[in-house]
Amino acid sequence: MRQPIIMMGMDSGILGVAAGAAAASGFMAYAVRGRSSSVFGQSYYHGDRHKPALALTFDDGPSESTPQLLDALEKHQVPATFFMCGENVRRCPDVAREVAARGHELGNHTDSHPRLDFKSPRFIYGEMARAQETIQATTGTKPRWFRAPYGVRWFGVAQAQELLGLRGVMWTVIGRDWRWPAARVSELLSNNASNGGIICLHDGRGVRPAPDIRPTIEAVEYTIPRLQERGFQFLTLTQILCPQN
């Protein structure tokens, strides 16, 4: 008669351990990729929710196709923030300089676009520092914002941000423009645009040379005027997150 009682106690203990493991796993998943998480360093994912303003941001550039995107933004008089990879800047230095010359803001997106989870703090700092040095040396502009590739942060990111004078940024909505056609991207952005929103799109595809970013450009061309008609103003990240600066 005692054996079932013992087994029940053992089962309860196992369930408790499993529940604890699941909770810990869930917390780490949020810490690493949760857009509101600041576990691995200060991070923002929206601006003032009382103002009809949006920050349009682009990751993974510059690329050979970025100038076409710049033309689309200029057509609609929209400033944006470009999170650049150091490797891409070295491949397309003139394009990187053109982004800055056209009045857009530059951000740090690491040097070679790796996932940072399970990497050492030394590796993470090296990736961020090389990108920071390359962007500044090439364009004359020192980035003040950092976005981790794939939105994945890890131990060491906070220290690297502090040492390099960077602040972390996630997004309010991500367009999935590396995978979806322009019409679907436009629908997603239109349906999820909200006051103080930070929109994440891509003018590159990792560090791949000559990527096809036509869906991104087409989505931008279609969506921007419609959001402007709804009363949204487009600002850089600094303007939307630090309006006093």
Q: Which residues are catalytic?
A: 59, 202
**Which bin fits 134, alpha (ψ -120 to 50), beta or left (φ > 0)?**
alpha
Q: How many CB atoms lie within 10 A of CB 204?
A: 30
CA distance 28 to 10: 27
CA atoms within 13 A on the CB side of 71: 6
Preceding amide of 121 cis, omega within 30: no
Mapped onto helix, strand or coil, the DSSP state of residue 37 is coil
Mapped onto helix, strand or coil, the DSSP state of residue 162 is helix
- For residue 97, the Cα-to-chain-centroid distance in whole angstroms is 21
146: β partners? 108, 168
The encoded tokens of residue 62 equal: 């510059």
167: β partners? 145
